Chains A and B, each alone.
Chain A
């Protein structure tokens, strides 16, 4: 329940969030312009043949969305959270039947000359539904029950995304677990879940020895927390042994159970196979782009890797390459600083708010933004496997820009109540 029944007002709208949002959108547009920059071409701002021209239109539409949301009564979102969720779930479900294939994923709906990716809107819808759900369930003995049900809200869109062969988007929904943690999700389960995922990834990406070494380090760190309690120490060692067994199990499954073509696919995903024309080439070119930016960058419009198309998907998933190449290390940390300021500001505002609905929604926004930030940039610099998800507010594309604009501005709106 919203505690205060204040009337709709511009008071309480956080200006910093809006400033950072505008800054990121501008950086995005400039980078999109640079990546398709051709000194010989005539420059017209609304050139619909060019990404930058189209993105400008998406930005204007986003502004319309943002202003509309700020005008709407904040209660609207609370009252209609489930309806919105159901509408968007049905929409992404319909994509499975009505959608068009783009890059192997059936995640797009064609409307005239343009395509829309409805899964981008499912993020704010899920965040809204979860916020309302947590706002309602309050008693402590319901806790376990609540989290099980909450997972259903995540699994529905994630499952549909997997059916659309859009693994990246499916993973995004699991970012809400960060918010679950804040809402009291069992930290042991949380830790074990993270460790299992990390163990899987490390085993397939590196090798078993490195992974076991990593687990050993985790075990040593855990020893500081048991404070001489022998029982707990034995428990931790037991868990460690379990994880080592997992490492070998994954390894055995990988070498003996999987077919060669399946192995090949995993290797490519984890950047292990040398596939100079495929994924490996893309990642390598991405690293060259960012690495060649150096400390201060090559200067705006001077990036060769992006301008000359060496980097794939340079306006969408790999847009960070353009920033890294032209603005260098300085520009890269500036982007991190902007995002982290945005995310931490959202968390602070969410914590400060009396309403559980706003807090949970705020954490949901922060979780999704952080997940996108880390996965997207981590992918371009080779820290994690290539998972195609956009960099919020910056990547080219109407659906993703609108989805994130709605996600953020709904928070700004309800936070102002």
Chain B
């Protein structure tokens, strides 16, 4: 039997205006974690889609156990025991966990579902691999981490041997990431093979055996992780040296730009408030980071701050103007820019072209319109300028449909648009989510440049590395409240983690309460 369980040899896949994969070879050994590394738009997802049967390659062959196979659709892939966890989960929101797992492979007798049998298998699998799920919970009610476990169980339920993970950690909390790494190691012990798409170098160093690097659709090389370093990997990926440390010169913050007083935002999900009595200030020339685990009120706070949602109590002042009840357009005119958390929901009109999206916040300005008619020449010129300046890659330049661009480049477009507004206050919500190291470096540089130019930056982030390196001040949010304020130079990650998990609070004594509880239990 061949040493390799899957071989993709000389794969070429062309899209209009772009060669997404250009003669790429990838060989996966049995029982290894094989990382696939590349910048945004390097062709990783395309290559995996070819393997999973979503696209057909124009050239090249795929071999399974040394035999040439043809994978025309995901069912073929499934029959070859290839499974995939997509970056954006493919789950039916209103179905239960169990229903989602068996969907497409329902056990039945004479057309009647045999759910009891399925349930036994699912429970056994989840115990064996430590994938805790509640089979009867509905997908819409469970956390993103839990949803990912459901996706993994889906692959296991189908006895898949080759597991593809497409940027699985992008949506997970640090704890969940550690768990996932452990689960992946368990799989390889069983002889399953894993293809792991990511651009987080730390994760590759932690879990992968080998790594194949792509750049701009071309194959760069495959390396053993044992014999390489983070620096070398990033050089292979980006084609130059990447700076991991954020360079910042000391700076004295100036006047107060944003003043938040006692802001309370009601929750859409439950009767409690999502944001409770939050107060803080952001000054000119400083980056303040709102840190916390996902779902602790950051999103709702940003909605209230930017005008997407109403707050029930409190006052927000921007540059001395009360903006609590101001319209979104007026906040924008006053100098607020917003890099939204959800780029598909808020950041982009996906069916618009790139150039139309780049003027989304300024199409009404005299520069781009005359008497209500859009000056398309100016729009094109402006778009080309931003594209060149920010290295936004796409198939057809300004006229590319935003939907067809890679996620990282979509994000670059949004960031370019918002920063080019030259705002007094930049609200950046998870601006580096889903970006590669090269792009992250560039975003961080831009945030720091804003700060150095005397602008105020409010960064909302879940990434601990980012939280520790970018801001001048950290505010930790837990269950809608601010529970601590830190100088990043004087705090450790562990300490921060305790506040983020609600185990510590600067302003209230939670330790005593917890001990009391323990005492009661004893």
Decide if A and B are genuine partners. Answer: no
A positions within 8 Å CB-CB of B: none
